[in-house]
Amino acid sequence: MYLYHQGKHTRQAHVDLPEGTFEEEHGRLGFFGPVSHLYRVHPPTDWTSFEGPLRPRAFDFNEARPADIDDPRGSRLRLMYNNDVVVSISRRSEAMPYYFRNGDGDEVWFVHEGEGRIETDYGELTYEKGDYIVIPRVTTYRVHPSTKENFFLIIEAIPQVTVPSMAQKGLIGVHALFDQSAITLPKLPDVYEERAGTDHEIVVQREGTWTSVVYPFNPLDAVGWKGDCYPWKINVRDIRPVMSHRVHLPPPAHTTFMLNNAVICTFLPRPLEEDADALKVPFYHRNADYDEVLFYHAGNFFSRDNIKPGMVTFHPTGMHHGPHPKALANMHKIERTDEIAVMLDTLNTLHIAPESESVEWKEYWQSWKKK
Ligand SMILES: [Fe+2]
């Protein structure tokens, strides 16, 4: 297609908006495809009513209660899902009495709260708040929290998760957004521990159902390994976001993981744009190709009112979202953002589980209304 324009517009997206206008980005392929900017006289979120399933939604996952919060044999709680991803939370307070193996997909655990260790086929990883832990499909593992209050956001990636390739990093170079050397691998124990005399159960998940298999010895019995398939972790403090001091960059600049028909991005503390005419908040957009989930981990979520850590917003394909009025009004008063948030964008429709609906903030769709 060819580049055209009509009426009032800017020469540079997100900068020097025509007086009295609100910029909306209407783009395809998650900010990589054809794109136009519309300069509107009203914020596109100034609706007055909603009927039907596509309203913007928000959920307080702090209020959701996975069975593993007080039952060691209990499972995580599935809150959103489609054929490519499953979003769950775990509040596990005690060690798993079994070993677990996911036959459906790779897992990305984000540690929102808590500390502990995970035993795996490849050795042991300790974890802390802010860690992303990547566990390849069919790895056997066991989670041992050392804290009582724990909160994991778990994204199952069917069938697998990768990091952006060197080609995808392109102009920003191979060491962005984190150096490969910054990841942590599990460490094998110095001496294999047989743990004889106890039954060792492995629970294997396939298509959501569980199979139990028992060994008379500790099944994590590897005394060595080699290869490029293994669990690993990176903490958000070791991810170094890119930004431009002159123009607001789109979410793909913050991509952490690539999934099948989905992507995980991490929004991290960073200085805001310096130029007086540059937009400092996410521009209004209607998702053309992706459902968008944002999990709020820490900091002050300045572009969203009434959102606290542990909450989740859901912006479905087709509907607009953008900064809340207060953020838009105050954007020139602040110089940095200290927010940490995990975004999951899915190409295919995400289904919302009833357990999410039970912790929904039903009026979220009205939250753009000027007070
Ligand atoms: Fe968005």
- What is the per-residue pLDDT across 241-300, written as a single tens digit (0 to 9) for each? 999 999 999 999 999 999 999 999 999 999 999 999 999 988 999 888 999 999 999 998
Q: CA 159 → CA 26, 101, 156, 166, distances in Å?
A: 30, 14, 8, 21
Based on the number of CB atoms within 10 Å of its own CB, is 234 exposed (0-12), middle (13-18) or buried (19 or more)? buried
Residue 208: what pLDDT?
87
Q: In the Cβ-directed half-sphere of 349, how many Cα atoms lie within 13 Å?
A: 6
Residue 29: what pLDDT?
85
Q: How many Å apart are CA 85 and CA 290, to the nearest integer? A: 13
Residue 327: what pLDDT?
84
Q: How far is the CA of 163 from the centre of ligand 1 (A)?
A: 21
Q: How many Å apart are CA 305 and CA 324, to the nearest integer? A: 7
Residue 125: what pLDDT?
98
pLDDT in tens, 191-232: 998 887 778 999 999 998 999 999 999 999 999 999 999 999
Below-70 pLDDT ranges, the chain? none
Residue 43: what pLDDT?
94
Q: How far is the CA of 171 from the centre of ligand 1 (A)?
A: 23
Residue 224: what pLDDT?
97
Residue 300: what pLDDT?
87
Residue 244: what pLDDT?
95
Residue 32: what pLDDT?
83
Largest interatomic CA distance in the chain: 79
Q: How far is the CA of 201 from the centre of ligand 1 (A)?
A: 42
Q: Which residues lie at CB < 5 A from ion ligand 1?
A: 292
Q: How far is the CA of 98 from the centre of ligand 1 (A)?
A: 39
Residue 30: what pLDDT?
83
48: left (phi over 0), alpha (psi -120 to 50) or beta: alpha
Residue 265: what pLDDT?
97
- The values of phi and psi at residue 77, to 5°, are -110, 120
Q: How far is the CA of 25 from the centre of ligand 1 (A)?
A: 10
Q: How far is the CA of 182 from the centre of ligand 1 (A)?
A: 28
